Amino acid sequence: MKIQCHRPTLSAAFQVVSGVVPARTPKDILKNVKLDVGDGVATLSATDSEVGIRYELEGVEIERGGTTLLPTARLLAILREVQDNAVLLELRDDGLLVRCGSSEFRLQAADPIEFPPVPGFDAVAYHVLSGAVLKEAVRRTVFATDVESTRYALGGVLMERDGDTVTLAATDSRRLAVMKIIGRAEGDPAGGNAAPVIPSKAMSLLERSITEDSEDVLIAIQANDALVKCGPATISCRLVEGRFPRYRDVIPTSSNASINLVVSSFLSAVRQAQIVTNDESRGVDFAFRPGSLTLESQAADVGRSTVELPISYEGKDIIITFDPRFVAEYLRVLEPESSVRLDLIDAESAAVFRTEDGYTYVIMPLSRDR
């Protein structure tokens, strides 16, 4: 095998693919990225046995085909440090030769025969979604998953499909993020798993893989697996086991107060209030009064803070306690100049943030007996 690549292109592709490579695994072979060269195409692939990715390299000059394993950490370091734009990869009897300008590296290359296969995209029934829209929807939901939960379904993003509509939902049981997007169905993608939950690792990988706003993303859901085609990348994963909560049941359908807030100023106030919190006392009191919002926090051995923000609100006083991390994480995925509407019932009921483009975020209040 012998190829020459554009180093920035190879580096960008390798950065994406290496996101799948496990940091710790009993199978040392999975710490590598596989390179297949044949039929005029060079393809990188990686897997952790649950999530896999294939990535077709562009602009590769192929002199000789073949297959090898690339040591992930070493090659990433080489591509980061060398300066020339052309890089040569050649598999020899004594290992892998990497040459870039006047720099030359000879690396040990493991036998690729035991590397597990990573599937390509061969589905005939799938949903087609705008890459830019899907990237935003993933960004707005995946942060609300709970990857450490013993309830496995909370460690992924639910992907409901209804005709041309796809709804993403994620929760860790303390907050819920829901985003509805419109695409189009090809074939009959309604089969397979009716309520698939895609691992958060695969969703984060998908977000990083979408680089061109104009490209379409193809998503095929099967009984136990999902396939996603995104430009030169194909992501495959096993679906998360377990039943996702009935999330619609926790979204309040009415409210006693609605407050419009500007993201940038609201986020600034939340971040300021968060300074005077600790692991034992995370709660911040959000006091909504006519014309103003006051955020108050207090923590032993830290101190107390009061942050005031003028708002357009003329209703009754409501004081509700939130974990400021959950509010800040939500606001950070929105445009600073945009506005959100906060719907409140009382101090003990779930609060709902809504945007004009159909994004819903539910957060449970904390007890005020801190």
Handedness of CA 143, 280, 265, 286 (dihedral sign): positive
Closest CA to 238 of 149, 119, 144, 127: 119
How crowded is residue 261: how many other Cβ atoms within 10 Å of its Cβ? Answer: 21
Mean pLDDT computed over 206-221: 88
Residue 352's H or E segment, with its range, is: strand 351-354
pLDDT at 353 over 90: yes
* Rounded Cα gap, residues 234 and 228, in angstroms: 6
Beta strands in 207-291 (DSSP E): 216-221, 225-230, 233-238, 257-262, 284-289
Mean pLDDT computed over 198-211: 93
Domains and CATH numbers, the chain: 2-114 (3.10.150.10), 126-247 (3.10.150.10), 251-363 (3.10.150.10)
Sequence-separated contacts (24+) of 25-30 with Cβ below 8 Å: 28/110, 29/69, 29/110, 29/114, 29/115, 30/115, 30/116
DSSP secondary structure code for residue 131 in this structure: H
Mean pLDDT computed over 356-361: 94
pLDDT at 261 over 80: yes
Pair 119, 127: CB distance under 8 Å:
no
What pTM was estimated for this model as a whole? 0.90
Residue 325's H or E segment, with its range, is: helix 324-332
Pair 41, 1: CB distance under 8 Å:
no
Pair 282, 370: CB distance under 8 Å:
no
Which pair of structure tokens corresponds to residue 97? Answer: 């030769």
310-348: string of b/e by CB count within 10 Å (b at 16+)?
A: ebebeeeebebbbbbebbbbbbebbeeeeebebbbbebe
Strand order across the 32-38 sheet: 66-71, 32-38, 41-47, 51-56, 233-238, 225-230, 216-221, 126-130, 184-186
Bridge-based pairing of strands 61-64 and 51-56 is: unpaired
Q: What is the pLDDT of residues 12-53, one digit of tens each?
A: 999 999 999 998 888 999 999 999 999 889 999 999 999 999
* Rounded Cα gap, residues 316 and 318, in angstroms: 6
DSSP secondary structure code for residue 94 in this structure: T
Pair 322, 330: CB distance under 8 Å:
no
Would you state the pLDDT for residue 148?
A: 78
* Rounded Cα gap, residues 93 and 228, in angstroms: 36
Top-ranked range on mean pLDDT: pick from 152-166, 207-221, 343-357: 343-357
Confidence of residue 368 (pLDDT cuts 50, 70, 90): low
* Rounded Cα gap, residues 361 and 100, in angstroms: 49
Residue 78 or 153, more confident: 78
Q: What share of the chain is helix, strand, coil (3-state, %, to 5)?
A: 20, 40, 35
How crowded is residue 4: how many other Cβ atoms within 10 Å of its Cβ? Answer: 17
